[in-house]
Structure 1
Amino acid sequence: MLGIRRRPRGVPRRRVHTAATTSLAAVAALLVGGAASPPAAAAPARPAVVPVRLDPGYQQAPFQGWGTALAWFANVTGGWPDAQRNRLADALYGADGLGLTIARYNIGGGDSPETEPYMRAGAAVPGHWKRPGPQTPDGWDPDNPDHWDPYADGNQRWWLKAAKARGADTFEAFSNSPPYFMTRSGLVSGAVDPRQDNLRPDQYERFAAYLAGALQRVQTSTGVTFASVSPVNEPGTAYWRAGGLQEGSHWAPDSQARVITALRAELDRSGLRTTIAAMDETDPDMFRANWDSYGSPVRSAIGRLNTHTYGTNGRSGARDIAKGSHTPLWMSEVDLGGTVPQSFSDMSPALDLAGRITDDLTRLEPRAWVLWQAVEDYENMTPAHENSNWGLIQTDFTPADAAQEPLRRNKKYWAMAQYSRFIRPGARVIGTDDDHTLAAVHPGGQGAVVVHANPTGSARTIALDLTGFRDVSPAPVQRYTTDATRNVSRETDVSVTGRHLTVTLAPRSVTTLVVPGASGVDPEKADPATGPRLLVNDHSGLALTAAPPGAVSALVQHSPNRLESAQQWTLTRSVPGDWSSTASYRVTNGDGGRALAVADGVLTLSPPGTSAQQQWMLSTAGDGHHTLVNSATGTLLDVTGASTADGAPVGTYRPNTGRNQSWTFHGSHKVTVTLTDQDNNVTATNSVDVQAAGSKF
């Protein structure tokens, strides 16, 4: 983690808008190529309504939970008086607090005792080594028990035990830097040149032994078992410089690969089956660049993928890398300082955080979402210093009296609770078509949770479409709100009418709706439908087409034409009733029924079979656009060279986040039509069948 990083959010999802003076029937006629006269007079304006469709037919893998890195705040507060540190632990991990279930433990590198302190409060996390003598640090031997401090870093260790006692069940260890005596600069804050690796070339195996040995000793002393260990942190950046305010180290891609394989070998030698997580890069784009550089042995040594989202571009690439490699993915670190000065009542930082959570979970599809440090140094956040809103709780890291030091919860804390208290481990995030809405089904599939953030200064009415569920009972829907005056406040229950729920939300608020009566999936509403469809490329606007026999490429793109059988594709789920976001499909062509496949690295059409080469996973953020990931190769359906030319070849390529890898399904289906008034307020929504017999797309 480093300082304040602000990046724009992803591109908003698009909806169909029409004039309020156009009737639904007229819209339907226009869409199928007909025409209709508008009504004589416009309907009177109504309050704005935002339609939100929930899609339980697209369910992410079971969610592992919410968490925080311990690091600096635990290094400080783990040594505070017992009552005070327990209050903090209750606020983060307690059932009446945030209910976090994940803790990331920082294995400190540790500077030389002779080095004058220079880091920010809490950042000098103790190392686990005992050096043989001041003049012989290179004599440190990981196989010598006397060269270890088996009880180092007691404050962070207290937090591990406190989290576990309150129900946390997932623990990860991570490293920001090797010990000082393994580095080029002699400091754990980075190399003199921030673009240079700080680990000396002869120290890889010894550093791997240090990580494995620290892991074992912390597990023994705390009773916690680490599910994973991450050896590098934000490795491709140029943040880490000798004399900086925190531990850090640059790692070139080949250095990342070397330390990952060295650590896997050392863990195996030590009898530890702990999963390696990598590479905790600062954003998904850099994550993808690092991953693309790894060879097969390195990739096979990684049991989980970690990325941060301080930058937000490229989430779909990381998502599809995880799917294609059949490896779980975490969003393992982020926080936002916000765009306003330090405040404990302003909703702006809370709404920013809510937006990041929603975007991360819908676009990245991580199995877990982990905050940087949930507790920040109050003094460092004051106007005299950063004047910012990092952390969910702020408290002075160098207090005059720790027992009396206030624990200041800001609005980010309560916004976080709107998610973490209700979307629990085992829940499955489902599809939505709205940027501001996150939804999930409960573990076991009975009941759903919807969290909507309204960042506007006006009340907002949302109309939830629950028709994607098989069953929707009229059970009361609980409502909880955080805004300028309320903190996860239980409001009056609301009612489902048929399979719809309309509710008005306060300005600048985050609201959680618990819908106990929603369950199952209506196959008729699942998207995309399985019937014959056109696959239209989002970059070129041209349709995937089976080429005639003897063509240079088996698949090309042509102008869309619904009547052309070579452009008609039918999706068949490999496992009927598998509604997961990693469900595989066979994609067969209307001209002869051959299946889309990858054979020897080439996209082709084959007689239908059951091989992984013919299986495709669909990824979507709920905006109607999809990538198709081949189950055998992990490559994506791709217009070669991002060509926009009619007749250009279509093949497969590794995930690159380009629109030439993004596809929209078209066919006989329902289109949601949204009517707006002259002020662009939504006045009505409906769905119409769109199919013009004999028409082109």
Structure 2
Amino acid sequence: MTERADGEIRVIDPQRAYTWEGWGTCLSWWANTELGTRDDLAAVLFGLDPVKVRTTKRQVELPGLGLNIVRYNLGACTWTERTRGRRRMVESPAIVRRKQIGEFWDGEHWDWCADANQWAMLTKARDNGADTFEMFSVSPPWWMTANGNPSGAERGQDDNLLRSNQEAFAHLIAMVTRHARDEWGIRFQSVEPFNEPSLNAWHAGQNQEGCHFTVEAQEAVIACLRRELDGHGLRDVLIAASDECYYSQAVNTWRSFPEPIRAMIGRVNVHGYDRDRDPKNRIALRETVGDAMPVWQAEYSEGEPDGLTMALSIGRDVRYLRPRGWVCWQPVESLDWGLLDGGYDDQTVNPDGHAKGTLEGEVTGVNTKYYVLAHYTRHIRPMAQILDSGHADTVAALDPTARCLTLVTANDGGPRTVTYDLGRLIRTGGTVRTWVTDTSDSWTARHYTREPDTFTSDRTLTVHQTARTITTLEIDL
């Protein structure tokens, strides 16, 4: 597929439109800390109103992101000894406490009070407007694994879930799904039993939970899970798979699944850690699974605070992968991996010999990419129709109810002028509302700033963009 060079007219075409399901985030580590109990974070991430967010130095008023998709991390850790077998969980020497997620079932007893912080944020997200929920597993519970270590097997290329526990693993997922529906008012639309299962990185010395699954093991778990969900009255809950790290891995996994297993999968999840600007892997995945199969880009992150790389990745995903949902990994994280900078205690030594660190956490600052993501999440809402924009740097969406066209475009170069042909959508000119974020670190940088209105002319819109900016344009039809 050939991109048009800058300066040519880009035609906004509704012919191959598809329906957008939303934007989201994973809970996991940040929500496992005391940040999971904070009302201001729930309001700013999942609501649309402006919110004053407490940071270590001051309060900062931020536009609400309105994220509607929430991915809940089913935990793998308990610190009690199992009576049968006299086993205890083995902890990786590299893991820290906030990356250990508590589990509800130790094989003998259910503890529905486990994982209180992450569950608190899940319910707060729902109360602030989130409406699409997925539960995913990074590792089966430690006691189901071969070595008792939820960070992975002794060798990264080996599966860690015992074959004898595949049914038990599926039973756990179904039981938590039903309990969440019946007791907590959370309906998981989907469950994902794997997390980057083809990677060889998940081993006993990893710094987080993880588990390798061969394709054959994935097939067995998917079949078990479908039976368990159906048997627990959860036929409406779809199975997502396989949350591979790279688009190319997702292609290989899907091609390896036999048709009966494919028929059990309701959506393909994939992570966005490919850094190649070449769209071939995204195109290959979409062609492999077919146009009818829903896809989510279910996890994205990088350690760049300005958000420009993220915006370009969103554009490529939408143009070539055509996902229905797009999810960031951790909204509050350190080392510029978050939308908000997080400060965590990963150093306090545990006197009992367990993983060091505590569940303390704070917001230390706001990265520019928070404002960059706001351009997309605030203006392209669930049920919008995603249109062909003519270029990967622009996402075009039509709100059919409000009769409003949105263009969000990322400019990673110098000043430029782009003209959009809107003739297939409008008959006359109209007002254009504009917001801009500068991804530079200048003290005069604009952060989701409303600019003066402009106007369309002769059913075209010409936009002058300064260097390294994200621009949102709203046109009433």
Q: Distance in 2 between matches of 1:87 and 1:330?
A: 27
- Name the structure 2 match of 1:240: 202
- Name the structure 2 match of 1:129: 105
Aligned with 1:59 (options 10, 13, 17): 17
- Name the structure 1 match of 2:286: 319
> Is the Cα–Cα contact under 8 Å of residues 464 and 501 in structure 1 kept in the other structure?
yes
SS in 2 for 1:512: strand
SS in 1 for 2:263: helix
Question: 1:505: Cα distance to partner?
Answer: 1.4
- Name the structure 1 match of 2:269: 306
Aligned with 2:44 (options 77, 84, 91): 91
> Is the Cα–Cα contact under 8 Å of residues 194 and 250 in structure 1 kept in the other structure?
yes
> Is the Cα–Cα contact under 8 Å of residues 344 and 360 in structure 2 kept in the other structure?
no
- Name the structure 2 match of 1:158: 120
**Is residue 279 from structure 1 mapped to residue 242 from structure 2 by the alignment?**
yes
**Is residue 506 from structure 1 mapped to residue 466 from structure 2 by the alignment?**
yes
**CA-to-partner distance for each residue in 1:477-535, whole Å, 9 max, x for gaps?**
00000014111100011101111111211211100000112xxxxxxxxxxxxxxxxxx
Identity of aligned residues (%): 37
Inter-CA distance 332–403: structure 2 relative to 1 (3 Å threshold): closer
Inter-CA distance 406–247: structure 2 relative to 1 (3 Å threshold): closer
- Name the structure 2 match of 1:195: 157
> Is the Cα–Cα contact under 8 Å of residues 112 and 180 in structure 1 kept in the other structure?
no
> Is the Cα–Cα contact under 8 Å of residues 343 and 361 in structure 2 kept in the other structure?
no
Q: Distance in 2 between matches of 1:87 and 1:252?
A: 41
- Name the structure 1 match of 2:295: 329
Inter-CA distance 393–104: structure 2 relative to 1 (3 Å threshold): same
Question: 1:58: Cα distance to partner?
Answer: 2.1
**Is residue 390 from structure 1 mapped to residue 346 from structure 2 by the alignment?**
no
- TM-score normalised per structure 1: 0.60
Q: Distance in 2 between matches of 1:391 and 1:50?
A: 35
Paired amino acid for 1:451: V
> Is the Cα–Cα contact under 8 Å of residues 341 and 364 in structure 2 kept in the other structure?
yes
- Name the structure 1 match of 2:53: none
**CA-to-partner distance for each residue in 1:161-188, whole Å, 9 max, x for gaps?**
1111111100000001111111112100
- Name the structure 1 match of 2:32: 75
SS in 2 for 1:89: helix
**Is residue 465 from structure 1 mapped to residue 427 from structure 2 by the alignment?**
no
**CA-to-partner distance for each residue in 1:336-369, whole Å, 9 max, x for gaps?**
223xxxx5xxx3xx11010001101111001100
Inter-CA distance 79–58: structure 2 relative to 1 (3 Å threshold): closer
Q: Distance in 2 between matches of 1:67 and 1:427?
A: 15
Aligned with 2:72 (options 99, 105, 109): 105
Inter-CA distance 402–246: structure 2 relative to 1 (3 Å threshold): closer
Q: Distance in 2 between matches of 1:405 and 1:172?
A: 26
> Is the Cα–Cα contact under 8 Å of residues 173 and 228 in structure 1 kept in the other structure?
yes
Q: Distance in 2 between matches of 1:79 and 1:410?
A: 20
Paired amino acid for 2:329: W
Paired amino acid for 2:366: R
Q: Distance in 2 between matches of 1:276 and 1:468?
A: 38
Name whichever of 238-247 and 397-406 sits farther off: 397-406
SS in 2 for 1:418: helix
Aligned with 2:2 (options 13, 33, 36): 13
- TM-score normalised per structure 2: 0.86
> Is the Cα–Cα contact under 8 Å of residues 97 and 359 in structure 2 kept in the other structure?
no
Q: Distance in 1 between matches of 2:422 and 2:28?
A: 42
Q: Distance in 2 between matches of 1:403 and 1:243?
A: 24
Aligned with 1:120 (options 83, 91, 96): 96
Q: Which runs of 5+ in 2 are unaligned?
A: 50-63, 81-87, 349-357
Question: 1:151: Cα distance to partner?
Answer: 2.2
Paired amino acid for 1:51: I
SS in 1 for 2:309: helix
Question: 1:117: Cα distance to partner?
Answer: 7.1
Name whichever of 277-286 and 166-175 sits farther off: 277-286
Counterparts of 1:436-515 in structure 2 under 5 Å? Answer: 436-444=393-401, 446-456=403-413, 458-469=414-425, 471-483=426-438, 484=440, 485-515=445-475
> Is the Cα–Cα contact under 8 Å of residues 278 and 305 in structure 1 kept in the other structure?
yes
SS in 2 for 1:463: strand
Q: Distance in 1 between matches of 2:191 and 2:361?
A: 36
**CA-to-partner distance for each residue in 1:663-687, whole Å, 9 max, x for gaps?**
xxxxxxxxxxxxxxxxxxxxxxxxx
Q: Distance in 2 between matches of 1:224 and 1:111?
A: 23
- For the pair shown, which has the larger CA radius of gyration, 1 or 2? 1
SS in 1 for 2:172: helix
